[in-house]
Amino acid sequence: MKALLRRLIPRLAWAYLTFVGKTSRIKVIGEKRRGDLRREGRRFIYAFWHARQVFFTYSHRGDPVTVLVSRSLDGELIARAMALFGIKACRGSSSRQAVAGTKAMVSAIREGFDLGITPDGPRGPAHVVKAGLPGLAQSLQVPILPITNALSRKVVFEKSWDRYEVPLPFGKVVIRYGDPIHVPPGADLDRAAVEIAGALDRLDEEARQDLRSWT
């Protein structure tokens, strides 16, 4: 039964998110920032809050990105669903990525993939960036690209540690990219983590404002 559910749940997630995506109106703001990095031939790390990750599975389907996903059972189901959307996963934990996920992420960068990380995942605290993200960007010397989304129709899991969001069909979605953040050699990683968290929070508010003003 468990094996059946592990095959079935990702396919149901794929079908549901495909339906949501095809019935949603989507506005993308700031995509030129990503385009500029790719035109320059530069790899980068997407950074987004854990609560916002669901819709990106649809909006970034087929994107040349490898996303860090936890080694939990939930992480396995997420990784399988992502694979159905053409998104690669490397298994590890953002809190232990120095030992669990770094080799896979370094290999992905070298193979021409960008990376995706939820810097407050997998268990929080919400909207707190761990030092692993700026440390990885510093060691690889690649920029961090903040990204978020705002959903007009969604289910919010109020009791989850990050108020996790699942999009509903027939809504509006704003996807917003922020300015790339560089972590130079010798930079203070704790200070960089605070900078990244501030950038993501500001981006969240801007996306919500965009959604409110969308007519």
Residue 74: per-residue pLDDT:
82
Contact 173, 149 (CB under 8 A): yes
Residue 1: per-residue pLDDT:
58
Residue 125: per-residue pLDDT:
96
Residue 3: per-residue pLDDT:
73
Residue 123: per-residue pLDDT:
87
Residue 162: per-residue pLDDT:
96
Residue 93: per-residue pLDDT:
60
Closest CA to 101 of 85, 112, 117, 113: 117
Contact 53, 157 (CB under 8 A): no
Residue 122: per-residue pLDDT:
86
Residue 48: per-residue pLDDT:
98
**pLDDT by residue (tens digit) across 51-105?**
999 999 999 999 999 999 988 878 899 999 999 999 999 887 655 444 557 788 8
Asked if residue 125 has a cis previous peptide bond (ω within 30° of 0), the answer is: yes
In terms of DSSP bridges, do strands 172-177 and 144-151 run parallel, antiparallel, or are they unpaired?
Answer: antiparallel
Q: Given the structure tokens 């996306």, which residue do they identify?
A: 207
Residue 104 CA neighbour count, 13 Å, CB half? 19
Containing domain of residue 64, as a range?
Answer: 2-213
Q: How many domains does the chain have?
A: 1
Low-confidence ranges of the chain (pLDDT < 70): 1, 93-100
The packing angle between helices 132-140 and 189-213, to 10°, is 100
Residue 100: per-residue pLDDT:
54
Residue 73: per-residue pLDDT:
79
Neighbours of 186 (CB within 10 A): 6
Closest CA to 24 of 56, 53, 47, 46: 56
Contacts with 172 (C-beta within 8 Å, 6 or more apart), sequence order: 24, 25, 26, 27, 151, 152, 153, 211, 214
CATH number of the domain within which 48 lies: 3.40.1130
Contact 130, 88 (CB under 8 A): no
Residue type, 169: P
